[in-house]
Chains A and B, each alone.
Chain A
Amino acid sequence: MMATTNIEHVKKKSVFVGLLAVLSAMISRPSGLLGLALVVFHIVLAIVSPAIAPYDFKDVNAQIILNTPSYEHWFGTDSLGRDVLTRTMLGGRQALFVTTIATVLAIAWGGLLGVLLGLVGGRLDELLMRIVDAFLCLPWILVLLLIVVMVGSESGVLILTLGFFYGIPVIRMARAATHDVVARDFVTAAQARGESRSTIVWRELVPNVLDVLLVEGAMRWSWMLLAFSSLSFLGFGIAPPTPDWGLMISNSLSIMALAPWTALAPVVALSSLIIGINLSADALAKAVGIDRAQRAPV
């Protein structure tokens, strides 16, 4: 009974157990299970698709343009004779790569600043919140477009831009969550004990703000995917010939009457990923005990 286990060991175990509990709560409902399955599927697909795609996405073949789906080409071919299946399988790679990193960036910087502001308060807080509010008034897509056009559309630029702008609403949220937690007695207890500022932030505050941030992160991810694909749809995103769902849909608009499969495949792919993320975010929110639908998109 008196096993000499370290307190640190106990702590790690409790975090792991916590995560497992959340995950199992998520998959207990059918919508959560579906959502998680879709997300995992897409991530795995993005990773392995170069290895398993049947054709090269660049392969142009003037002989087989706009072929209907057939045995050789399960999803048919597009206007340049490229295999639609291959391009659809690969079409999410850039999107997932950019948006995943950007989401982590957004949550990290927005969360950190929000928590800091929530703690510090005072005039700096007031001033910065006014600026944050002003930023939130800007039409997001205009800003994104402008930066992409003027600076360039490389992954790096996209990641930084998306990460920066989508981090701004996170500041508000993290700040509000911080205000909530700081008012609770266990934080007062820690203050009365004389714990250092950093201990209070990292040990008392962050674990309780983290779940709010996680749910927010899931939401942000889906908005970023939307933004990313909107950008590439408008022609301002990833440059061809790299396949991308948004770009594919855009190209297919004019020929939709003739070849609906060129639109259908990327539409289903993109939609299923976004729906998967949303369902997962909902399930995560319920598992962690937050009501997330009550907030406006930004």
Chain B
Amino acid sequence: MYESLVQVKNLGIGFTSQTELVIPILRNIDLPISEGETIGLVGESGCGKSTLVLAMMGYLKSGLRVLEGESQFRGRNVFDMDKKTLEEIRGGELALIPQNAGQSLTPSARVGRQIDESVKLHTDFSKKQRHERIIELLSQVRLPQPQELMKRYPHELSGGQQQRVAIAMALAGEPDVLLLDEPTTGLDVTTQAHILELLRDLATETGTAMVYVSHDLGAIARVSDRIAVMYAGELVLEGSARQVLKRPAHPYARGLLLSIPRLKEAVVPASMPGLPPPPGGASQGCAFADRCPMTEQLCRDKRPTLEPTAVQELVRCHFFERVEQLPLPEPPKRPDRPNLDEVNNILRFDNVAITYAKPSIVDQILNRQPDVTPTVDKIDLTICRGETVGLVGESGSGKSTILRSIAGLWPPKSGTITYDEAENLNTSVAERAKDLLRCIQLIFQNPDASLNPRHTVAEILAQPLKLYFGLGGDELRERSVILLERVRLRANYLERLPGQLSGGEKQRVAVARAFAAEPELVLCDEVTSALDVSVQAAVLHLLTQLQVDHGTTYIFVSHDLAVVRALADRVAVLYQGRLCEMGPSESVYRSPSHPYTEVLLGAVLEPDPDAELVLAAEDAVDLFPPAKGCPFHRRCPRHVGDICGNETPPWQPTEFGHAIRCHIPLGELRDMQYQSITTH
């Protein structure tokens, strides 16, 4: 047994509430971290993983204190160290890469100077040596033109660049242990993939140990040697990555893995019932008892301790041997696939272009439209009644813009959107009939923002009911209760304010509000992106159920390809506001693919230790669409020549209503992509 660099010993951290109760955030944490190994620390929001990682540096957010135990670095308790020692260690041997690099870099100082500060604090280099070291670090994190970049301010860099700078800053002191607190949250799919690969390479190159905190099991799977799963402030499972991901020994870990949508299966993942207990709310038994599929009386009476298993894992469960025998959950019933041949279109896009540009003063005087490249262009799409169409793309792809246009919030600049082959949707909300407005409903990404914080749930639901059906009084209340039941919330939620609900519950209310109008078409704008994985699964279940019951059509916008795979019948891939590929999901997720789809698929992080990332394109950021040619030509790894930049690529249909917009002939594309897969 080798000495651990970091050893957390029976650590308990908490705070004292206003009612003089001691509320624990972390309980009995034992975690060793040895040289050179990467541990993934997994858990959903509120499980305490960020607190744990900060505690390893001896840092506690205000109000928190150590209730018991200690966290050792090289054998010494960090909570006993004096300030000076802590300052030497932090940023030196023990460095943190923060969650939101954009907010963690000081806005008033140039990036180079901030890295220089770290170098100066933890080395003895001369000025010249420091300068060289900074350039070295910036190159190590694969940032181009380090001399120039050094002089920039944080706000001048993109999200990915900021994160790389944060990594460079952490490496400045040549740390032995790197602590990473959700370093890729908020970044684009491709950027995330690149940063993860960088981290993996760095770990191998420098031999640094890493603690990688995330809620994303896909990311964890990519970088970790060992995985520790946290739930309600406790460690519930710890073992090798392979073991935990393939055969999880704790029912929560198992449930978590099952709730992650997979690329290969068009199935809505299973969801665990209930919610994690609030801090301090766990009773004397197992914290997971209320939600566990194999709970027994012992579970509620006695809190399990961490026990070793036969394969050198540690599990906190009384009955962990039985976990493997648990039956796989039933996938929810999927709605019947609508017959695509019948003329049953609910929505049709004909060469639609949308632009955000506002006319300048000069344009207004001359009364002309600004001559800019449209944000969204050349959209031709047909959507059938009852199906789910996924719109996939990264930031800047225009997918939200399209939804806003359909809803009438931002009419298109040219082309037509037709509803039900009868109504023209080029109108704004004010110009539309109430019944049309009722048929098309929008659900937003962030339920904190989409529900009025001053309205109770009852008032929130009352609004569409009053507006579209003129309901009032008792009838209104009865209908509201029914709506809540449909989204599996009890009637007593009517009197609550959004601030009193969890993220998942809020989103359910938002769904209920949308369905209160009894719509035909529901536009879902990244509705699960802000939710924890298990909560996401529950909401996806809900949406599927409602679709089965009501025959609603969904347009589901997301950047998460696996989620779209679970839900969508057909998928459209967008880049910079232009369609790249479109067709039934099985076809889109299979070769031949548009080069951009290929890039996206290659960047998906599956919670599978054997899955490999295929990084085709750079994670450069295109700020605006090109004036002509293929929108992807500036980043395309399969760029064939000038034709890509000059001519709009044609639609190349394959069988079954699938088409790809590329200059490369399909046969060639298929061969090239087959080759890439086999060589990896």
Contact = CB atoms under 8 A, between A and B. Distances in A.
A76 B476 CA distance: 67
A133 to B, nearest CB: 20
A195 B473 contact: no
B501 interface: no
A10 B496 CA distance: 10
Nearest to A6: B473
Interface residues on A, range: 20 to 34
Q: Main SS of chain B's interface residues?
A: helix
Contacts of A194: 429, 432, 434, 437-438, 467
A76 to B, nearest CB: 47
Interface in B397-449: 407-409, 429, 432, 434, 437-438, 441-442, 444-446, 449
Contacts of A189: 442, 444, 450, 513
B459 interface: yes
A190 B463 contact: yes
16 contacts: A2-B491, A6-B477, A10-B456, A14-B497, A186-B449, A186-B451, A188-B450, A189-B450, A193-B463, A194-B429, A194-B432, A194-B467, A195-B463, A203-B455, A208-B452, A208-B454
Nearest to A189: B450
Nearest to B477: A7
Contact of A5 (B442, B467, B472, B477): B477
Given A7-B472, A185-B444, A192-B442, 6 more contacts: A1-B491, A7-B462, A184-B449, A186-B450, A192-B429, A193-B437
Interface in B352-379: none
B626 interface: no
Query: Which one of A18, A192, A207, A208 has the highest number of Cβ atoms from chain B below 10 Å of its Cβ?
Result: A192
A266 B566 CA distance: 75
B463 A207 contact: no
Interface of A: 1-2, 4-7, 10-11, 13-14, 18, 184-186, 188-195, 203-204, 207-208
Contacts of B446: 185
Pairs A-B, 3 closest by C-beta atoms:
A194-B437, A185-B449, A185-B450
B490 to A, nearest CB: 10
Interface of B: 407-409, 429, 432, 434, 437-438, 441-442, 444-446, 449-456, 458-459, 462-464, 467, 472-474, 476-477, 480-481, 491, 494-495, 497, 513, 517
Nearest to B430: A194
Contacts of A7: 458-459, 462, 472-473, 476-477, 480
A288 B432 CA distance: 38
A186 B495 CA distance: 19
A117 B626 CA distance: 37
Contacts of B467: 193-195
Contact of A11 (B408, B434, B459): B459
B360 to A, nearest CB: 14
Contact of B494 (A10, A18, A186): A10
B409 A192 contact: yes
Nearest to B452: A186
Contacts of A6: 473-474, 477
Query: Which one of A5, A10, A14, A189 has the highest number of Cβ atoms from chain B below 10 Å of its Cβ?
Result: A189
A85 to B, nearest CB: 42
Contacts of B454: 18, 207-208
Nearest to B459: A11
A286 to B, nearest CB: 15
A176 B409 CA distance: 22
Contacts of B476: 7
Query: Which one of A185, A194, A204, A208 has the highest number of Cβ atoms from chain B below 10 Å of its Cβ?
Result: A194
Contacts of B463: 190, 193, 195, 203
Contacts of B437: 192-194
B447 to A, nearest CB: 9
A77 B494 CA distance: 63
A193 B453 contact: no
Contacts of A186: 449-452
A283 to B, nearest CB: 17
A232 to B, nearest CB: 40
Nearest to B406: A192
Nearest to B451: A186
B482 to A, nearest CB: 12
Contacts of B445: 185
A207 B452 contact: yes
A207 B467 CA distance: 19
A195 B517 CA distance: 13
Nearest to A196: B467
A184 B451 CA distance: 9
Contacts of A1: 491
B366 to A, nearest CB: 17
Contacts of A5: 477
A14 B477 contact: no
A174 to B, nearest CB: 16
B468 to A, nearest CB: 8
Nearest to B436: A194
Contacts of B429: 191-192, 194
B669 to A, nearest CB: 39
A204 B434 contact: no
A11 B480 CA distance: 14
Contacts of A2: 481, 491
A13 B472 CA distance: 17
B453 A208 contact: yes
A4 B491 CA distance: 12
A192 B462 CA distance: 16
Given A186-B451, A189-B442, A192-B429, A14 B409 contact: no
B361 to A, nearest CB: 10
A207 B444 CA distance: 21
A193 B444 CA distance: 13
Query: Which one of B432, B477, B495 has the highest number of Cβ atoms from chain A below 10 Å of its Cβ?
Result: B477
A10 B442 contact: no
A221 B294 CA distance: 63
A89 to B, nearest CB: 39
